[in-house]
Structure 1
Amino acid sequence: MKDEKLKPYQEYLEGIIKNFEEITFEYLPRVNNKFADALATLASMVECSSDAQIRQFMADKRCEPAYEESVNVLTVDGKIWFTPIIDFIRERWYLEHFTVGEKKWLRKYTMQFMI
């Protein structure tokens, strides 16, 4: 083991491996490790006893986008669906046909974005 800080983790894993009927480990390059980091963080938050029954969790690697072609996101007038949101953030401008409720929703919704 190159990193001394990781030795306790390796020893711990070697100890708990005995509790599994089947276990596999796969090296993930650092670039592809975001999902593994999220799972490790989640796992560190869970406490369970050694006799607890834990259901199997399967994750498939995906190397391609889940979609094949672009989705048509244009509205009837030819503008992108989020144009009113951009307009409001930049200029505090509403579409003419917006109701009071739609204006209120737009003000609240746009608070989470910055341009």
Structure 2
Amino acid sequence: MALDMNIQELLVIKDSDLLINQVKENWATKNDKILPYVNLVQRLSGRFKSIDFRHTPRAQNDFADVVATIASMIQHPESTHIDPLEITLKEEHAHYAHIEAEPDGKPWYADIKAYLEKGEYPPESSAN
């Protein structure tokens, strides 16, 4: 796809340290089943002005896992064109958007904050 779009510089991020190092020729490819794929990636790499392969641990790759899961759930039409998925990054965590203010107009954590800052309990609390 990157070649079809005439991309000249490409950054490939993968959660498999083994594959990244095999493609970069840092490690030998011993698995005969993987070798054709590694060779293909190496040949295709020469068609870019610049290409870099980076490893990211799976634990730090939550975003890619979510996108891959969404992509696997979409039924693709019988055409070569697929509309792009628009992703908007928010400034706040999504769970903030689902918390409504209490009837007193204070956020849900106001009593916890008051206790941590001043050692004050809510006025309606009991000795228990």
TM-score by length of 1: 0.31
Higher helix share: 1
- Which fold has the larger relative contact order, with Cα–Cα distance below 8 Å and residues 6 or more apart in sequence? 2
Greater fraction of residues in strand:
2
